[in-house]
Amino acid sequence: DAMVIQNPRYQVTQFGKPVTLSCSQTLNHNVMYWYQQKSSQAPKLLFHYYDKDFNNEADTPDNFQSRRPNTSFCFLDIRSPGLGDAAMYLCATSRARTGDGYTFGSGTRLTVV
């Protein structure tokens, strides 16, 4: 089945140690999104790619970066994770400019120790 896959499902990283979360899709969707969801909060959009066009949300910290080497893969890099970055990170895809459907991965739960 076409889907969005996030690896790993659980990630533990040390305070200040760079960490990368990955997302892959078999849907061939143009747009890929990264959401951060802290405990008991709504998912919050960090950034998204439309093909190779990167779109950062205004309030996304500089500590968060993303790469999309090809249509299928998108990575979230946290350069120096702090305790406040512990959260569920959700990847999603959609067709461009339609707004009519999003496919979410199962998420990566990040713990910072």
Partner 1 sequence: AQKVTQAQTEISVVEKEDVTLDCVYETRDTTYYLFWYKQPPSGELVFLIRRNSFDEQNEISGRYSWNFQKSTSSFNFTITASQVVDSAVYFCALSETRAGANSKLTFGKGITLSVRP
If the CB atoms of residues 18 and 22 are measured against partner 1, the closer one turns out to be 22
Binder among 48, 66, 68, 78 for partner 1 (CB under 8 A): 48
Give the span between the Cα atoms of 105 and 23, in whole angstroms. 8
The DSSP letter of residue 107 is -
Give the span between the Cα atoms of 104 and 91, in whole angstroms. 6
**With contact defined as beta carbons under 8 Å apart, do 93 and 2 qualify?**
no
Binder among 34, 46, 107, 110 for partner 1 (CB under 8 A): 107
Binder among 92, 93, 110, 112 for partner 1 (CB under 8 A): 92
Alpha helical stretches, state H, the chain = none
By the criterion CB under 8 A, which residues form the site for partner 1? 31, 33, 40-43, 45, 48, 50, 55, 88, 90, 92, 94, 96-107, 109
